Amino acid sequence: MSKKTLTLMSKDKQLFNIEEHLAVQSVTIRNMVKEDGASSVIPLPRVDSETLALVIEYLNRQQAPEEDEDYVKKFVDERGEIPTLLELAQAALDLDIKKLMDAACMKVADLIKDFTLEEVREALRIENDRTPEEEKAIRDEFQWAF
Amino acid sequence: MEVAGEVIKEDGGGWTWRSPDVVYGSRRSYRMWYVVVGASPEKSSEKMTGRRKSLRSGIDPSMEDLPAELTIDILSRLPVKTVIHCKCVCKKWRNLVLDSSFVNLHLSRSPTGLLFQQRVSGPGILKWVEIEEKVDDHRLHPMSLDLNMVPVFRNCEISGMGSVDGLICLRQYSRRHDNTFICNPVTREIMTISNPPYYRKDFEIKAYGFGVASSTGEYKVVRTFKWETWDDDKFQWVNELGAEVYTLGTGQWRRLGRVPYKLYGYDFGVVLNDHCHWIVSRSEDAPEKICAFDLNKETFQFFPAPSETTDSSQSLAVLKGCLCKSDGNRFPFTIWVMKEYGIKKSWHKEVVITEEALNSIRAFRYYKYPIYLIGFLKDTMFFMGGDLFAFYPTSDTIEKIESFEGSRNGLAYRSSFLKLQNFESETVHIRRDCTCISNPITIWFSNHLGCGKLDKAYGDVMESRYSHLQRVSILVMDSWLIFSSWRNPDVLVYHTSGRGLKDGTIFLRTGDLWEFYPTSHTIEEIDTCEGLESPLAYRPSFLKLQDFESEKKLSSDPVGYKIMDTWEFSNLLHRMAYRLSFIKLRNFESERSYLLKEYGINNSWHKEVVIILEISNDMILAFRPLHLIAGLKDGSILMVFEGKLCVFDPRSETIEDTKIFNPNLRGLAYRPSFLKLKNFESERHLKDT
């Protein structure tokens, strides 16, 4: 019996094929398959093709369960850039792939944890919407931490 | 903000925090320090390019657009200080950090650790430093979360009485004080648990417990006390044991009635499975030697104890999620583990530490101090007996952690951001002044304390190069290295993560912090970090004490201090007895004078005057009891307040300093008279001078 294949469609309308038994590691896909058999294309409107390719690569891994933890770690380590990781984490969140999301979040946390305030803002492209007074209030509140 | 120092970018690309305030050997006041040790040059340059690349690659995702769930997830994995820094990043983040889902997630990821009280320079100082794991390179992040309780407690003894979800229950005990406090070192919040109205000075508090009832999520302090009561049948004073419970947020103790058996000494209870456990006093003829208090039902019951037991000192702890009991002030020191909670048969003799093993440690003062267990970090067991000891079951070795001499009150502790301010009807103070210390810093040793074996090879290296250290032994504990020197107990070495171990970099300090590279046998001074003492494994979390729903929301301004002491004394006022008690609350305190209308009739005590005083923050601790002296004709009351002779006017409710003089003494009501002492017959007649 040939293995059933699912088709996933990224935000930019690219199609990816993946065997169903691998795809159902994603709880979201599993639920969709359960509901309607998912014969047609599964659209993933928030995931771009680059990220989806990564997710597919991850889902296609052939690791023994005991090596899996290390593999996931290595997988995100190799893609150790914050924007990529954030995309990956978001895709993992949408697709509900817990292990991947955990690993990606962990990696982002590791990367930013030594950053200064400014570096965090820069790295994550966050605009500073706090007035100096507000910032001072926090610094005062947690004086010991600064 | 009082940060004295700056971030310095090193040549190699690493970042270093230098605080000129931290000068080794000096006794200068110590604010806080946060050290990021620069990575070795090759590594750091690699890292820096990696970072720059990630900054340059300008693809769209900004963390601002991320789902809150994801942001919370990422933030919850950050060390506690970084999270606090992140609060400044943007409004959204700040709100996320305040969110209870963040607090809970952070707590769930924060490792359990140990907390010690250090008595290096007098009581009142709880100090710890967290050393967090650095996953991607070999950098050490010692962080201090020192909590200096001296401004709060003055020089009173304080003891940790238990810790749950990052909250610590502290007891201040002296001849004059017997107070209970709850504090969260992360949010710097401290609240006082006032003694109950029925509390009397002769109450002898026997046992404490602090835990959370899972059914209601209520945090409860339970304690038993002894007092003397008159037994009509026996026609004598008899000791009676009572218990009371305080639910955080209710503002009052509730009596639980009598307790039929004495619980062991001043021990704090060990909380597991919604029960608080104590050893039953040896003198009691109880069916079981352990007593448990159900935090949900609020009942005491006996709990199955190991059948085989000695009369020597015993202690309880939680090791790897199991209740555990140690036995023996002398050899062999036995540790029992209850494999299945509540099943008597499952008590199992886990570890027997023999005399030989203990003898291998010098200066083991077991005879002076009872040994008690603190807890487990990974596979390493920690117990105290005057000093801190670590036992590694895998290698069957035991180690005295030299730098923790004088540590007391080891507690298992998990840090959190739970906010005390959310407890209604409690007065919570944020004591920012509790940060500065002029004493050696105590360390929070965080999670990754693994088991390990002695590695003499490193020790030799150290010895040859640094002979002044003499006999350095280096303990390689999985990912940690702890050095200790017999001659200089101040030498403590700790290490970062397992990753750090691979390149063999070791961090140590002999007053200063050093970095040692075994491969090149070089040693470098890293930064000045003073007095790392008393390791505490600590899990930072963002549980906010403020989040306790029913708690009063208070401003985070430093406010006054609530002192639970109740002074009772009587005085004469209008020839009537007064009883005065006062309770300080926030910025004011209320003084109640009770007037005894009919002499000798208890019911006739009548609340005559309530004095509300605005007092400044500085006055709080200097505050001395108020003495009533006399009532004046116009209804005002003469009193000694803060050492000054003052008049309180009940109509305008003001206190006026008479500025007459500062008696600094207790005043006396005095009426001039012409009674002649000479008229006392049998007294010696004295000449008028």
Q: Is the pLDDT of residue B169 over 50?
A: yes
pLDDT at B170 over 70: yes
Of B136-150, B272-286, B648-662, minimum mean pLDDT range: B136-150
Residues 181-200 of B with CB under 8 A from A: 187-188
Half-sphere exposure of B622 (CA within 13 A, CB side): 8
CA distance B532 to A65: 42
Q: Measured in Å, how far apart are chain B's first and last C-alpha atoms?
A: 65
Mean pLDDT of A72-82: 82
Strand partners, B480: B477
Mean pLDDT in residue range B63-68: 74
Give the per-residue pLDDT at B306: 82
* Cα–Cα dist B147/B442, whole Å: 9
d(CA A98, CA B269): 38
Picking from B50, B88, B90, the nearest residue to A80 by CB comes out as B50
Q: What angle do CA B572, B576, B577 make, to 5 degrees?
A: 65
Q: Are B348 and B320 in contact (CB under 8 A)?
A: no
Question: Out of B32, B90, B141, whose CB is closest to A144?
Answer: B32
For an interface test with A, the pick among B37, B51, B429 (most A C-beta atoms closer than 10 Å) comes out as B51
| Bridge pairing between strands A42-43 and A5-9 | parallel
Strands of the sheet containing B290-294, edge to edge, are: B270-272, B275-279, B290-294, B299-303
Segment among B90-104, B215-229, B257-271 with least mean pLDDT: B257-271
Shortest distance between the Cα of A68 and any Cα of chain B, in A, equals 18
Taking 70 as the threshold, does the pLDDT of residue B460 lie above it?
A: no
Q: Does B81 touch chain A (CB under 8 A)?
A: yes
Chain B residues close to A120, C-beta within 8 Å: 85-86, 89
User: What integer is the mean pLDDT of B175-184?
Assistant: 79
Whole-angstrom Cα distance, residue B22 to residue B30? 7
Of B395 and A95, more confident: A95
Angstrom distance (rounded) from CA A103 to CA A107: 6
Give the Cα separation of B184 and B551 in Å (integer). 15
Mean of the pLDDT values across residues A40-54?
Answer: 84
Q: Is the Cβ pair A101, B70 closer than 8 Å?
A: yes
B152-181 burial: b if 16+ Cβ within 10 Å, else e: bbeebbbbbbbbbbbbbbbbbbeeebbbbb
Least-confidence region, from B220-224, B255-259, B510-514, B624-628: B510-514
pTM of structure: 0.57
Report the mean per-residue pLDDT for chain A.
82
Q: B151, A107 in Cβ contact below 8 A? A: no
Q: What pLDDT, on the 0 to 100 scale, is given for residue B600?
A: 57
Q: Does residue B164 have a pLDDT over 80?
A: yes
Q: Is A95 on the interface with B (CB under 8 A)?
A: no
Residue B32 amino acid letter: M
Q: Using an 8 Å CB-CB cutoff, list chain A residues near B81.
A: 145
Give the model's pLDDT for residue B433.
Answer: 56
Measure Cα distances from B405 to A90, B474, B535 in Å: 49, 18, 11
Measured from the Cβ of residue A115, the count of other Cβ atoms closer than 10 Å reads 19
- Which residues, in sequence order, are CB contacts of B474 under 8 Å at separation 6+? B454, B455, B456, B458, B459, B462, B481, B482, B483, B493, B506
Q: How far apart are CA B325 and CA B347, in angstroms?
A: 9
| Mutation for B interface: A11, A105, A114, most B CBs within 10 A | A114
Q: Which of B11, B16, B43, B22 is nearest to B439 (CA)?
A: B22
User: Could you tell me which chain A residue has the CA closest to the CA of B73?
Assistant: A105
Token couple for B518: 């075994």
Mean pLDDT value across chain B: 59
B480 or B248: whose pLDDT is higher? Answer: B248
Mean pLDDT for the stretch of residues B678-688: 59
Are the beta carbons of B278 and B373 closer than 8 angstroms? Answer: no
Please report which confidence band the pLDDT of residue B377 belongs to, taking 50, 70 and 90 as the band edges.
low
Residue B163: is its pLDDT beyond 70?
yes
Closest-CA residue to B341 (of B277, B280, B279): B277
CA-nearest residue of chain A to B436?
A144
Report how far residue B356's alpha carbon sits from residue B212's, in angstroms, rounded to the nearest whole number. Answer: 41
Label residue B43 by pLDDT band (50, 70, 90). very low
**B88 with A130: Cβ contact below 8 A:** yes
- Decide if pLDDT at B559 tops 60: no
**Residue of B577 and B598 predicted with greater confidence:** B598
**Region A28-56: what's the mean pLDDT?**
81
User: Residue-wise over A125-144: b if at least 16 C-beta within 10 A, else e?
Assistant: bbeeebeeeebeebbbbbbb
Let me know the angle formed at the C-alpha of B393 by B390 and B399, rounded to the nearest 5 degrees.
25
Mean of pLDDT values over B359-387? 62
Which residue in the block uniquely carries the two structure tokens 């000075």? B201
Strand, helix or coil for residue B471 = coil
Stretch 543-562 of chain B: residues touching chain A, C-beta under 8 Å: 556
The listed range with the strongest mean pLDDT (A49-63, B251-265, B501-515, B568-582) is A49-63
Q: Which of B135-144, B217-226, B247-256 has the lowest mean pLDDT?
A: B135-144
Instruction: Provide the β-strand partners of residue B255.
Output: B244
d(CA A141, CA B552): 18
Q: Is B9 on the interface with A (CB under 8 A)?
A: no
Q: Which of A105, A114, A130 sits opposite B70 (nearest CB)?
A: A105
Contact A142 B87 (CB under 8 A): yes
Report which of residues B399 and B24 the model is more confident about: B399
Q: How confident is the model at residue B405 (pLDDT cuts 50, 70, 90)?
A: low
Question: What integer is the mean pLDDT of B344-354?
Answer: 82
Q: What is the pLDDT of residue B193?
A: 84
Residue B529 tokens read as: 């970090």
- Answer whether the bond into residue A45 is a cis peptide, omega within 30°: no
Distance linking the first and last C-alpha atoms of chain A: 63
Cβ neighbourhood burial of B202 (10 Å; 0-12, 13-18, 19+): exposed
Residue of A nearest to B31 (CA): A144
Calculate Rg over the CA atoms of chain A.
19
Residue ranges of the alpha helices (H) in B116-271? 150-153
Confidence of residue A72 (pLDDT cuts 50, 70, 90): confident
> Mean pLDDT lowest for which of B68-72, B322-326, B457-461?
B457-461
Partner-chain residue, chosen from B57, B78, B146, that has the shortest CB–CB distance to A83: B57
Check: CB of residue B284 under 8 Å from CB of residue B261: yes
pLDDT above 90: percentage of residues in chain B: 0
In this structure, how many other beta carbons lie within 10 angstroms of the beta carbon of residue B145?
26
Lowest mean pLDDT among A121-130, B318-327, B388-397: B388-397
Above 80 in pLDDT, residue B568? no
Per-residue confidence (pLDDT) for residue A16, from 0 to 100: 86
Q: What is the pLDDT of residue B588?
A: 37
Using pLDDT thresholds of 50, 70 and 90, give the confidence band for residue B370.
low
Of all residues in chain B, the one with the smallest CA distance to A87 is B61
Distance CA B134, CA B102 (A): 22
By CB neighbour count within 10 A (0-12 exposed, 13-18 middle, 19+ buried), where does A71 fall?
middle
Does the structure show a pLDDT above 50 at B528? no
Q: Does A133 touch chain B (CB under 8 A)?
A: no
- B91 close contact with A: CB closer than 8 A: yes
**Which residue in B264, B228, B265, B226 sits closest to B243, CA to CA?**
B226
Q: What is the mean pLDDT of residues B505-532?
A: 41
DSSP code of residue B284: S
Q: Which of A36-40, A75-79, B189-193 bottoms out in mean pLDDT, i.e. has the lowest?
A: A36-40
Give the chain A residue whose CA is nearest to the CA of B88.
A135
Burial class (CB in 10 A: 0-12, 13-18, 19+), B277: buried
Averaged pLDDT for residues B330-353: 82
pLDDT at residue B426 in the model: 73
CA distances from B125 to B151, B158, B557 (A): 10, 8, 23
Q: Is residue B219 over pLDDT 80?
A: yes
**Is residue B331 scored above 70 in pLDDT?**
no
Nearest beta carbon to residue B77 from set A109, A115, A122: A109
pLDDT at B343 exceeding the cut of 60: yes
Per-residue pLDDT tens digits for A5-41: 888 888 888 888 888 888 888 888 888 888 776 567 7
The verdict on a CB contact (< 8 Å) between A105 and B77 is yes
Provide, rounded to the nearest whole percent, the portion of chain B with pLDDT above 70. Answer: 39
Q: Kindly indicate the confidence band of residue B368, based on its pLDDT and cuts at 50, 70 and 90.
A: low
Banded model confidence at residue B273, pLDDT cuts 50, 70, 90: confident
Q: Considering CB atoms only, which of B50, B77, B145 is closest to A144?
A: B145
Among chain B residues, the shortest Cα distance to A108 is held by B74
Predicted pLDDT of residue B623: 47
